[in-house]
Amino acid sequence: MNKTNVSNQSLLLEIKRELKDVKNVVIDINKRNKLLNIELQKAKQEIVDLNSRMPERKQGWFGGGYWEVKDDLTTNYENINHK
């Protein structure tokens, strides 16, 4: 074999190893992305659950506000923005 063939062969093997490393990195990123997507879906569901339990803020007469509880109980509060 001549020197060029050996150099080309070793270069091709090095490129092949590098591509395998890149492939492993991409696989790892995809796995992390799937896990992050699962966590994002859990967070979104938690926000929906919390929102469904929160009372609704209503605007009263003359700028006075109150919180309307969603389970048929209405609790009036002094305007919380007024100090």
Task: Identify which has the larger pLDDT, 6 or 35.
Answer: 35
The residues facing 68 across adjacent strands are 56, 74
Residue 34, pLDDT > 50, answer yes
pTM, entire model: 0.50
Main-chain phi, psi angles of 57, to 5 degrees: -80, 125
Contact (Cβ atoms closer than 8 angstroms) between residue 77 and residue 66: yes
- Which pLDDT score is estimated for 14? 93
- Which pLDDT score is estimated for 67? 66
